Amino acid sequence: MAWYKEWFGEDYLKVYPHRDDREAKTQVDFVAKFLQLINGARVLDLGCGMGRHAVELSQRGYCVACLDLSSVLLHLAKKRSGLTCRAHFVQADMRRIPFAGVFDAVLIFFTTFGYFKEDEENRRTLVSIREVLKPGGWFFLDYLNKEFVVSGLVPSDSCFRNGYEILQERRYNQKEQRIEKKIKIKENGQVREYRESVRLYTLAEMQAMLTVAGLTLAKTFGDFDGSDFTSASPRLILAGKREAN
């Protein structure tokens, strides 16, 4: 089974507790300021997880659709306080988003890209994003900076948290250009093991894929502080549009 079908459940939340509501508010503040969407704009939170960004988007008056493949995370998202009738929840694959030309913006936070083994499947995700955007609609993709990740790779670490132990091993698969992680969670005498595997694309490679998908890159950032993208940036954030024609 593909790793992303097994991993995104309650154990995933144990490994990333620092991805919290405060971080989501800061990130949505930045996106809202940059995109300048009108009240009532239709926004897709692609790979919404447990809905922390959707809460912030909904509170700003946007009509939010939340899409994720994980039934566990979608269930948690629905339970979050603050979500109103402006939020619509959909379980689907990001390569085949079940809408057409209806969104003013598609937002992709926290490296929800590069999951698939074949480059063509990752390109298909971008095509799917174009297909659900209105002409002139925006995409905003928060992604890894390949150079930063590879140069700062920590091979392994572990921590104890709330009665369980988390052990993580990381490697750069140069042949396949992927960052790979093995996660073990030890709890109550049991060990559960998962993995992550994300394709690392350069800015030039991303720009080429966006062009083929019919999307135009307008701006890049190195983080949510609005800094310019460089080889030393912690993130590669890409923003652009589906052309109006």
Q: What is the pLDDT of residues 39-55, one digit of tens each?
A: 999 999 999 998 899 98
How far is it, in rounded angstroms, from Cα 183 to Cα 171? 12
pTM equals 0.95
Average pLDDT over residues 215-234: 98
Least confident of 7-21, 57-71, 73-87, 123-137: 73-87
pLDDT averaged over every residue in the chain: 93
Average pLDDT over residues 125-129: 98
pLDDT tens string 87-125 = 788 999 999 999 999 999 999 999 999 999 999 999 999
% residues pLDDT > 70 (the chain): 97
Select 3-147+201-242's CATH number: 3.40.50.720, 1.20.1740.10, 3.40.1360.10, 3.40.50.150.
3.40.50.150
- Structural contact between residues 103 and 67, judged by C-beta atoms closer than 8 angstroms: no
Quote the distance between the C-alpha of residue 155 and its chain's center: 23
Average pLDDT over residues 6-24: 87
Q: What is the largest CA-CA distance in the chain?
A: 59
**Class of residue 112 by CB neighbours under 10 A (exposed 0-12, middle 13-18, buried 19+):** buried
Domain ranges of the chain: 3-147+201-242, 148-197
